[in-house]
Amino acid sequence: MLKSETVNKWARSCDACRSAASAVYCRADQAYLCGSCDARIHEAASQHDRVGVCEACERAPAALVCKADSASLCEACDAEIHSANPLACRHHRVPVQPMPYGYSDEEDEAGSWLLMNTIRNGDARPPPSFLDEYLDLELEDYNELSEGYSYNNEQHQQGHCGVAAGSSYDDSIVPVDYHNKGYEAGYTYPASLTHTVSTDIGIVPESTSEASSMKCEASVSHCDKRGTIELFTSPLIEAPTQLSPMDREARVLRYKEKKKTRKFEKTIRYASRKAYAETRPRIKGRFAKRKTSQGQVDQIFSSQPDNAYGVVPSF
């Protein structure tokens, strides 16, 4: 089943800007696009059918929507997830519908905007009051920001930021076409199919360590039953211990933007459980045993006079 508390490092990058994670797949263009690129490109081609990206692998167009899991899945992930056990097989799934024009991944858009502005201004360095802006961070957030911070102005001046706008892409790394070399060629995904990013993670170096993440094909994220996230790294993986100024800037900006756009509303991971909870009997808001609740119902109705009406027992 799907877990929402783990990090998916496998998200496919946008085919247009090569920086942000893709959010949609355009069937007409046969291209994966982030929210901002999708909005820009399809402003003139609004008739293109687009679908979301699979929430499990984030690297293939969604083909089905699982009502029980409230998740859009590609055919491969759907087959894998829903063949796991007889119960999963019973999940109701419907073909994914093309999204109307106007969809945009706000987070990607805002993040790109911030990055573009920074680069346009020709200065990717943190502002003088850089740290002051984080005085309101939670301690653990601050630790995450502090971890691995190493500002290297020389590298910045040498033009390592001269890549596509809104990108922290390291042009010294040759991009890998996952679609051709991985997914379609039978690339095996991690055993734990995950599809969302926990806000507890804080800064998740999605685009920042894109170069390194491209080399991290063997890494496996694991979430144990207490919710602790463990990252297993193979010896071949290069960890981003020293971040470039651009990488650092991108991380900071992404974090700031994410903090702004944090959504505190409750997220439902299992729609089936929600549906069941809504139908369950209650006594003063608490879940009640079916037999007990039935007895209470009988008691309530037996205590009402024959002509009593308008009283709705709260179960």
Partner DNA sequence: ATAACGGACGTGACCACAAATTAGG
Partner DNA sequence: TGCCTAATTTGTGGTCACGTCCGTT
201 touching DNA, by CB under 7 A: no
Q: Which is nearer to DNA, 120 or 284 (CB)?
A: 284
266 touching DNA, by CB under 7 A: yes
Q: Which is nearer to DNA, 163 or 223 (CB)?
A: 223
Q: Considering only residues 286-305, where is the footprint of DNA by CB under 7 A?
A: 286-291
Query: How many residues would you count in the chain?
Result: 315
Choose one: 36-44, 101-109, 136-144, 282-290; the region binding DNA (CB under 7 A): 282-290
262 touching DNA, by CB under 7 A: no
Q: Considering only residues 158-187, where is the footprint of DNA by CB under 7 A?
A: none
268 touching DNA, by CB under 7 A: yes
Q: Considering only residues 76-135, where is the footprint of DNA by CB under 7 A?
A: 85, 87-88, 91
The 10 Å Cβ neighbour count of residue 131 is 14
| Contact map string, positions 228 to 247, toward DNA, x by CB under 7 A | --------------------
Q: How far apart are CB 80 and DNA at their closest, in Å?
A: 12
278 touching DNA, by CB under 7 A: yes
Q: Which is nearer to DNA, 120 or 291 (CB)?
A: 291
Longest dimension (CA), the chain: 88
Choose one: 46-54, 129-137, 205-213, 265-273; the region binding DNA (CB under 7 A): 265-273
Choose, by CB under 7 A, the member of 47, 136, 226, 302 that binds DNA.
226
Contact residues for 308 (Cβ-Cβ < 8 A; gap 6+): none
Q: Considering only residues 50-79, where is the footprint of DNA by CB under 7 A?
A: 68-69
2 touching DNA, by CB under 7 A: yes
45 touching DNA, by CB under 7 A: no
Choose, by CB under 7 A, the member of 92, 181, 260, 273 that binds DNA.
273
- Binding stretches for DNA (CB under 7 A): 1-3, 5, 68-69, 85, 87-88, 91, 223-227, 266, 268-270, 272-274, 276-278, 280, 282, 284-291, 314
